[in-house]
Structure 1
């Protein structure tokens, strides 16, 4: 018998999705308990459990003798402001503070609103486990040894080439280098095109892991103003690269972390042309590219690259399993340098996992899984936005992400999210303070929330506690 907990949570997620997407408007009546019980083949108690969960989230209300009605209106809070950024590049120093935040954020009993990790309940773990067993039986030679020369499994490269038709292409098989995660992909690209002391242009706010990489490699960060809807400012990037002082750009144009913005195609095309003309390498992180909320997948900067100047990096950590540790680079004209950096850093990426991923992609399971996952993330992000709107102080601003599963929150200027962090952990809630997304220490009144988990009553209560703390 299917676990009753999973059954009522699935019904609650389905109903919340109908509500947050506007298909049921505030004041409208939900289907009756008996109808839901009959159509979903669930017990009445299971249906009531799901509806009570929606009540706890503030999405519905029970009216005596009448049934359940939609209470939730989609969050309409203003978007965060675009900030002016320092004109000079600065060294990066975030790692120690960031590691402390990430470590405390996974303590038992702390609501997981910090690190951007998906809930295991959303991932196809059973299917991957079965594939591992089958691959080891059918390809025992993959366990016989590793290689520092032959680092890419042909079966996986073939699947990436096929998938690249939708991203950029198609891309040539010779461009690809398989890596241990997207993080390693970004790192080997940086090492391939920069030297210590060089300047790298980044979005502002920028994903903290990118800032860590710059710090470790002795690189300076030049923060470029970034719009929460359209991404990095092309005009500001144009000005920043005129004097030849920028060695590379490190960007997340699709469902950026932490803003969730998607750069318009026109901007991507201008950026690709501008950087190629000025000899500025582009390292494009597309890890959230498949997690778009619209009807069509966004194109990459790589799609507009005519000079082989863009290195497209990604992985399957956010959609299949963070434990796979499989990423890749489509490295363009930098392929030889990137492959050399990968070879001397870690040799070949696990061939068994490469084959598992190749077979999963070939089976068609990935596309079916992603359709459901995109809906789940969209619902969870909207539910989190609504919770922030309910519980955070007046004048709070929140992003309206176009993909991914993180939310950026801008609080009134007097709020210092770094100073309040320890109190939040003591109250059982994690988040990432905004200043860790800036090399120059900006965004102290901001924070990022992880929306990778179903929006349960426990998550709703954690947002309530956090909002009360921010208002104190």
Structure 2
């Protein structure tokens, strides 16, 4: 046999296994060296076989982990629809539903597909505990002393060093620490809007933004949003004269998981700079990418200081520490003043623990493993949903983050479905949470930042059965 036929023959064997679902979405393939030994071929021939499969989008490479059956290899379900907010059908944000979903957190027997909290098994708790002891030894008064309103200089320095996707645009002086990312967004909105002003967001939009805007007396324009590429820039342009600020998750939006392409980010920043409209950028999920490199935030394209870049560790490291930050651009002095007036200073201990964890690459090491787990979980969830949910289900295809957005049959109301599911000890986030309008009633958001095991797959199967029974 010629070399060419050999690598094609090996590729064909693996392709048949994938198409017959012997190898399924998210399954890890044997290493290139294992293939070399199994088929008694050269390393180069084994590599060529994998390149052939990769060129057909049947497998995908993950840095330092090997090759996996790709999500596009057997995808059966369509993507969710592009949102078209019905502006004439505005209703109040569903606060009762929000309370109902949050209340389910108290019951540890309920499967929590609903809220965006990573499972504790995915977090480096033992290492963080050691960091607490180190921080208490090193801090003045073991962490009981006040710190400057701008926040821990050690943490700010580490954030600036670590934010490589911003290409050195940030220094420790550009950053203000906050009590989590929602607190950062609140400061930003407070700095650039007043009651009666209007902000623009994606649609569906994270319900916390809607609740925050309502509490501040702000109007919200929800913009059409594509499940893969994010907010429709042209729709924003048409509404630009009505808007005082824009608030977006450009990297792996919540709940859709969409990723705005870099060219769109650049256009967005240029347009908002021209109109002198601030952009509040929630980049909480930006480090949870499934590709080879971190996507750039809009802040990377900001030369005028109009982008207020918000981040934190509640999705990646320690939800309960409530450590977040802002790079507020030209609004820095206003943000620091607000923080001084409202909180005086943040607790210093947890900031130092996070700074310690970022030092010497520990955070990057943790993120590599977390991304790997989340990517595998995402593929396994998609596979289970295609196995257990009705055939007309539409499912998002996130390139990062930890949410899946499902669009079900139009006859299904997920608010009613939630009441049925919770009786069977399953919680999810109904689509109606993510809008101020009467829409997304047949949608749901699922959190895949959980520990995958047989019981979790059974719970997904039970949820699929509940959906089928509703039809």
TM-score, length of structure 1 as denominator length: 0.83
Q: For the Cα contact (< 8 Å) 2:149–2:346, is it kept in 1?
A: no
Deviates more, 1:164-173 or 1:432-441: 164-173
1:332-347 paired onto structure 2 within 5 Å: 332-347=329-344
Q: Would you say the 8 A contact 1:89–1:222 is kept in 2? A: no
Residues 87 and 437, structure 2, Cα contact 8 Å, conserved in 1: no
- The superposition leaves residues 413-466 of structure 1 with CA deviations (integer Å, 9 ceiling, x where unpaired) of 101001111110001110000011011131000000010112211111111111
Q: Aligned pair 1:20/2:20, yes or no? A: no
Aligned to 2:291: 294
Q: Secondary structure at the match of 1:361?
A: helix
CA–CA distance in structure 1, aligned partners of residues 291 and 246 of structure 2? 26
CA shift, 1:390, in A, is 0.9
Contact preservation (8 Å) 2:257, 2:399: yes
1:361 maps to: 358
1:253-292: CA deviation from partner (whole Å, max 9, x where unpaired): 0011111111100000000011111121100000000000
Q: Deviations over 1:98-151 (max 9, x none)?
A: 02112125423211111111111111111110011111112243533325x534
How far is 1:345 from its partner?
2.1
Residue 184 of structure 1: CA displacement?
0.3
- Residue 237 of structure 2 corresponds to 238
Aligned to 1:309: 306
Q: Deviations over 1:1-26 (max 9, x none)?
A: xxxxxxxxxxxxxxx9x95346549x
SS in 2 for 1:206: coil
1:270 aligns with 2:267: yes
Residues 199, 219 of structure 1: 8 Å contact kept? yes
Number of equivalent positions: 410
Shift, 1:342, TM fit: 1.9
Gaps of 5+ in 1: 1-15, 26-30, 36-69
Query: Which residue in the other structure is 1:378 paired with?
Result: 375
Map of 1:9-408 to 2, 5 A cutoff? Answer: 19-21=24-26, 24=29, 74-87=74-87, 92-147=92-147, 149-167=148-166, 169-241=168-240, 243=241, 245-408=242-405
CA contact under 8 A between 2:430 and 2:443: conserved in structure 1? Answer: yes
**Unaligned stretches of 5+ in structure 2?**
1-20, 39-68
Q: Secondary structure at the match of 2:311?
A: strand
TM-score, structure 2 length as denominator? 0.83
Structure 2: distance between partners of 1:90 and 1:366: 43
Query: SS at 1:337's partner residue?
Result: helix
